[in-house]
Amino acid sequence: MDLDPRQYENIAINDDDVHSVVLSYLIHNCYKESVDSFIACTGMKQPENYMENMEKRKKIFHFALEGNALKAIELTDQLAQEILQKNKDLQFDLLSLHFVELICSRKCSEALEFAQTKLSPFGKEQKYMEKLEDFMALLAYKDPEKSPMFHLLSLEYRQQVADNLNRAILEHLNLPSYTAMERLIQQATVVRQCLNQEAGKDGLAPFSLKDFLKS
């Protein structure tokens, strides 16, 4: 059961706002050609400086997604050293991606050495220690994919790290680290939750974008 469209049909929407939402999504995800043609079609004003950084961001994102963490780190540092220096969590996540790469290519002695030199300094803090334990445990398995920590080798995990890296870079460049689209969907979900709390069991189902688009 969804909201009655008559309740919101009368609200006016500014075209420029819609364009901004779409553009922010395209820029965030480095869809350069799409950005160019969208701007041309809508006659929008070109945002400043998005071009040169977008190319770099795209490369960094893809390296991280593939698992080539060292390259991603190198390019990020080229862009700005502070990004990783200020963000230890991210630095750790990227280094551990490299560790996982080595394990997956069965270069275990290298992986061990890498862990001993690069990862163990993080081990002094509790929050890193627990993550590190999971990573180190991978060493014990002939087939790490069959270990209890197999999720650390997955695409979803790399995607998460790559996303975080992307957001950190955007923040550094004084661009929004979340797209307007994401924020809007998050807001709609929370608003729906609040309404449900007040309405009790007569409330609406939690907000689902898929269902909304179908209706």
Partner 1 sequence: MEDTCDVLGSEGLIKKHEFVRIIVQCLYSLGYAKSASFLESESGVSYKSEEFRLLESHVINGNWDGCISFLNSLRDLLGETRDSAVFLVLRQCLMEYLKHGEDKLALDVLRKRVSGLHVDRYKIHGLANSMLSLKDVGVDGDVVIDSRKDLLKDLEKLLPPPIAVPERRLEHLVETTITAWVDSCLYHTSLGPVSLYEDHRCGRDQIPTTTTQILTGHRNEVWFVQFSNNGEHLASSSNDCTAIIWKVLEDGKLTLKHTLCGHQHAVSFVVWSPDDTKLLTCGNTEVLKLWDVETGTCMQTFGNQGFVVSSCAWFPNSKQFVCGSSDPEKGICMWDCEGNEIKAWRGMRMPKVVDISVTPDGEYLISIFLDKEIRILHLGTNVERVISEEHPITSLSVSGDSKFFIVNLNSQEIHMWDVAGQWDKPLRYTGHKQRKYVIRSCFGGLNGKFIASGSENSQVYIWNTRNSKPIEVLSGHSLTVNCVSWNPKRPQMLASASDDHTVRIWGPQLLGEKKRCNLN
Footprint on this chain of partner 1 (rule: CB under 8 A) = 108-109, 112-113, 115-116, 119-120, 123, 132-133, 136-142, 148
Q: Count of alpha carbons within 13 Å of 185, Cβ hemisphere only?
A: 12
Q: How far is the CB of 7 from partner 1 (least distance, A)?
A: 40
Query: Which residue number, 123 or 203, has a Cβ lying nearer to partner 1?
Result: 123
3-state secondary structure 141-176: CCCHHHCCCHHHHCHHHHHHHHHHHHHHHHHHCCCC
Query: Which residue number, 2 or 130, has a Cβ lying nearer to partner 1?
Result: 130
Q: How far is the CB of 174 from partner 1 (least distance, A)?
A: 38
Q: How far is the CB of 133 from partner 1 (least distance, A)?
A: 5
Q: How far is the CB of 201 from partner 1 (least distance, A)?
A: 21
Query: DSSP code of 43?
Result: T
Query: Which residue number, 65 or 132, has a Cβ lying nearer to partner 1?
Result: 132
Question: What is the distance between the alpha carbons of residues 99 and 122, in angstroms, rounded to a whole number?
Answer: 14
How far is residue 88 from each of residues 92, 127, 192, 205, measured CA to CA in Å?
6, 11, 35, 39
Query: Which residue number, 139 or 175, has a Cβ lying nearer to partner 1?
Result: 139
- Kindly tell me the sign of the dihedral angle through the C-alpha atoms of 61, 98, 172, 190: positive
